[in-house]
């Protein structure tokens, strides 16, 4: 596969670039580039702008409000959005739950939930990981017992990203405690306003409240909120994780970060020459660039495979390399910025340093992102687990 766009694809790329220049609010792109905190309102604003253009749900079928794009168009849009400094689409509803509903949900569920995801009526979060059940997700203990036309849910979820912004959560719950680990698990949709739900914040190394713990105490959930069949949730979770891992890899974000790194490193003078000409730094930079070019192809393969309901090995490879590349870029950026790479107080990020490089304005993004990117090695299934998936796939072939 060669990453060479046709004339029609180049025309689409220019259309996307033009639209982003016109519709992407400058304050949002500046905030993204400077590593500033995006509020719930900021993320909802970009969600609305994309939905108004019909470009929110890139991989959904057209009949449900999708774009009808192929994998190349999806790749181009993600790449150009990242290079323009657009906020990432919050993935939980659009890119994670929706594919599961489209493939495994009932007609009534699709008709009710999908429009609400598009128009922003519902903000979803993910209830998978638990204390003692992270990478070994099948060990989850959150229990849902069937009582007539509802389930009673008891247990705990953790690392729930942006759960404090959400009004709903999709959960893996154990509905048959006597079954083997990967059996007896169901996929349940829960309203976070239901009595018995409690959310507690977890503050990360970068000082931000991004993730949460969620506790369920005798939470009553309508049986109609069960997706697919009872005790088949593991199948649905594996399908969802293919989309999550592809999203975590962040090919577009890595491309934008690499372009930023080259700009910053090129302005740093070491022993009379730009840092990009230092042999050691240049070698590391070249290795990252080569890996990123290879990852673009893997990304296209993963997108194509996920649309066909497969591709777990491709998405696992993408997740491994994507996270390693983004972490290496952040590490090189810290080296380039030197003492400016120390963490900064939030007030420092509000200053305008008029583009002088390197300086606090550039380090502001890095000081936050470097620590935050440490989590990528374990999010969506640790990289060790992803290597096992890849190895198993190769042995089966």
The set of catalytic residues is: 244
- Say how far apart CA 12 and CA 160 lie, in whole Å: 36
Q: What is the DSSP letter of 130?
A: B
Alpha-helical (H) ranges within the chain are 7-23, 26-33, 40-53, 71-83, 91, 98-104, 107-118, 233-249, 251-267, 279-307, 312-337, 360-372, 383-396
Nearest one of 280, 254, 250, 281 to 379, comparing CA atoms: 250
CB proximity list for 362: less than 8 A, separation 6 or greater? 260, 264, 337, 340
- Say how far apart CA 172 and CA 264 lie, in whole Å: 44
- Say how far apart CA 129 and CA 157 lie, in whole Å: 6
- Residue 221, classed as helix, strand or coil, is strand
What is the per-residue DSSP string for 11-80? Answer: HHHHHHHHHHHHHS-HHHHHHHHTTPPPPHHHHHHHHHHHHHHT-S-TTS-GGGT-----HHHHHHHHHH
**What angle is formed at CA 314 by the lines to CA 310 and CA 318, rounded to 5 degrees?**
135
Q: What is the DSSP letter of 92?
A: I
CB proximity list for 242: less than 8 A, separation 6 or greater? 302, 305, 306, 310, 311, 312, 315
- Say how far apart CA 84 and CA 65 lie, in whole Å: 25
CB proximity list for 264: less than 8 A, separation 6 or greater? 333, 336, 337, 357, 358, 362
Q: Which residues pair with 198 in a beta bridge?
A: 215
Q: From residue 127, how far is each of 66, 95, 216 by CA, in Å?
A: 25, 15, 11
Q: At what angle do helices 7-23 and 40-53 cross, to 10 degrees?
A: 130
């Amino acid at each position: 596969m060669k990453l060479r766009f046709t004339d029609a694809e180049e025309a689409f790329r220019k259309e996307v670039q033009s639209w982003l220049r016109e519709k992407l609010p400058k304050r949002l792109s500046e905030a993204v580039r400077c590593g500033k905190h995006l509020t719930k309102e900021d993320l909802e604003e970009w969600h609305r702008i994309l939905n108004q253009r019909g470009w929110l749900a890139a991989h959904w079928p057209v009949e449900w409000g999708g774009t009808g794009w192929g994998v190349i168009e999806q790749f181009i849009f993600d790449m150009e959005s990242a290079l323009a400094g657009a906020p990432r689409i919050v993935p939980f509803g659009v890119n994670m739950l929706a594919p599961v509903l489209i493939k495994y949900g009932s007609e009534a569920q699709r008709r009710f939930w999908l429009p609400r995801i598009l128009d922003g009526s519902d903000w979803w979060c993910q209830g998978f990981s638990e204390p003692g059940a992270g990478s070994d997700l099948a060990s989850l203990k959150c229990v849902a017992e069937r009582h007539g036309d509802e389930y009673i849910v008891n247990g705990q979820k953790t690392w729930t990203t942006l759960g404090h912004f959400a009004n709903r959560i999709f959960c893996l719950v154990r509905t048959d405690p006597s079954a083997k680990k990967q059996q007896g698990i169901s996929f349940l949709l829960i309203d976070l306003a239901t009595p018995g739900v409690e959310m507690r914040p977890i503050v990360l190394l970068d000082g931000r409240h991004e993730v949460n713990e969620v506790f369920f105490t005798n939470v009553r959930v309508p049986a109609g909120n069960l997706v697919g069949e009872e005790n088949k949730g593991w199948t649905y979770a594996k399908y969802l994780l293919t989309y999550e891992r592809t999203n975590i890899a962040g090919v577009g974000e890595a491309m934008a970060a690499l372009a930023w790194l080259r700009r910053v490193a090129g302005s740093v003078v070491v022993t009379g020459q730009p840092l990009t000409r230092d042999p050691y730094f240049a070698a590391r930079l070249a290795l990252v660039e080569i890996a990123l070019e290879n990852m673009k192809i893997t990304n296209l393969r993963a997108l194509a495979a996920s649309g066909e309901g497969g591709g777990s090995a491709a998405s696992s490879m993408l997740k491994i390399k994507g996270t390693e590349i983004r972490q290496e870029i952040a590490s090189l950026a810290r080296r380039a910025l030197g003492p400016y790479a120390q963490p900064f107080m939030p007030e420092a990020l509000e200053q305008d340093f008029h583009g002088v490089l390197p300086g606090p304005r550039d380090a502001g993004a890095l000081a936050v992102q470097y620590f935050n990117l440490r989590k990528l090695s374990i999010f969506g299934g640790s990289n060790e687990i992803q290597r096992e998936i890849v190895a198993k796939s190769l042995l089966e072939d």
